[in-house]
Amino acid sequence: MYIFLNNRIVPASEAHVSVYDHGFLYGDGIYETMRAYQGIVFMLRRHLGRLGRSASLIRLRLPEERFIEDAVHETLAANGLSDAYVRITFSRGKGPIGLDPDLCGDPTFVVIAERFREYPAACYERGMKIIFAQTRRNLRDAIDPRIKSLNFLNNILAKIEAKERGADEAVMLNSQGFLTEGTVCNIFFVSHGILCTPSVDAGILDGITRDIVIGLAQKSGMEVKEGMFRPDDLLRSEEVFYTNTTAEVMPVGLAEDVAFEAGEIARMLHTLYREEVEAYMRGQGK
Ligand code: PLP
């Protein structure tokens, strides 16, 4: 396996980062996760846009977008990958101990690409199990969830709860008890035929998949409500699913102890999402 590290491709065995890297010492950095279909990185520009936003929110200077884009393609090519998981990471870089970002020189830049492993078909047929975590989502005024940051302990604590309770995913509430999002996904439910999802104001990462799915639902004539919802609103709904770049549209079969069918709306939106991916690929010459 080959990794892009700072300015060149190196074998994974030589891809080392300093113990003085502030990403390692303090979680000071940002990242993006993308998915490549037949060599085309879906919505690459949008992911780079969000990376740029994360960088600006933590006052991190990134190289030119073109350089990052080329590094992504070089990493895919070096590994001979076409259907892939791709992760871009930028940390504050190497510097002496101390929080001051100015202690660091250049950011550390890493691109990892791995063969994409599809979720088992059974996940989409039966749906995943979710719980509501005791761990609350980071306050927007503390660590804004719109920063896709290396400081991921908030989500990891919720993930630990999910694992301890035999669930696949944990949905976090905000400090007022409203639904926010999963540890690596956005949550949706269908209530009286209306597609509901927590608003960005609830304190979430505004997922790119979430945005596409909202658009597809509206285009197909569904009413979509982005708002402040309680766990009970979800538990009383007709259908639940979550979205992210890798799982796309994933049905929920069990939320706490309430069972759901892997429903029609999730299936329809997943089909439309796949069509969107194909249209994107055609637009990029595939
Ligand atoms: N929310 C969180 C906390 C995430 O980490 C992710 C993706 O990793 C998402 C939502 C979904 O974002 P996207 O659809 O852009 O993958």
Q: How many domains does the chain have?
A: 2
Tokens of 200: 């960005």
What CATH number does residue 242 fall under?
Answer: 3.20.10.10
DSSP for 108-129 reads EEEEEEEE--PPPHHHHHH-EE
pLDDT for residue 285 = 82
Average pLDDT, the chain: 97
The residue to which tokens 């590290």 are assigned: 5
85 and 159 part of one domain: no
103 and 223 part of one domain: no
pLDDT for residue 255 = 98
Distance 171 CA to ligand 1 centre (A): 12
Residue 286 reports pLDDT greater than 80: no
Residue 132 reports pLDDT greater than 90: yes
User: Which residues, at least 6 apart from 223, have a Cβ–Cβ distance to it below 8 Å?
Assistant: 193, 194, 195
Tokens of 152: 């991921």
Q: Whose CA is nearest to atom 2 of ligand 1?
A: 184
Stretch 184-207: mean pLDDT: 98
Residue 166 reports pLDDT greater than 90: yes
Stretch 170-197: mean pLDDT: 98
Tell me: the pLDDT tens digits for 252-265?
Answer: 999 999 999 999 99
Q: Which residues are catalytic?
A: 148
Distance 44 CA to ligand 1 centre (A): 15
User: Amino acid identity of 51?
Assistant: L
pLDDT class for 15, splitting at 50, 70, 90? very high
| Domain of residue 275, residue span | 121-281
Distance 42 CA to ligand 1 centre (A): 14
Q: Is residue 246 part of a domain?
A: yes
User: Amino acid identity of 73?
Assistant: H
User: Which residues, at least 6 apart from 229, have a Cβ–Cβ distance to it below 8 Å?
Assistant: 178, 179, 189, 196, 198
18 and 109 part of one domain: yes
Domain finish residue from 115, 132, 156:
115
Residue 110 reports pLDDT greater than 80: yes
Q: Is residue 233 part of a domain?
A: yes
Stretch 88-101: mean pLDDT: 98
85 and 129 part of one domain: no
Q: Provide the 3-class DSSP secondary structure of residue 179.
A: strand
Q: Which atom of ligand 1 approaches the CA of 208 most closely?
A: 15
pLDDT for residue 154 = 98
Rounded Cα gap, residues 55 and 50, in angstroms = 8
29 and 140 part of one domain: no
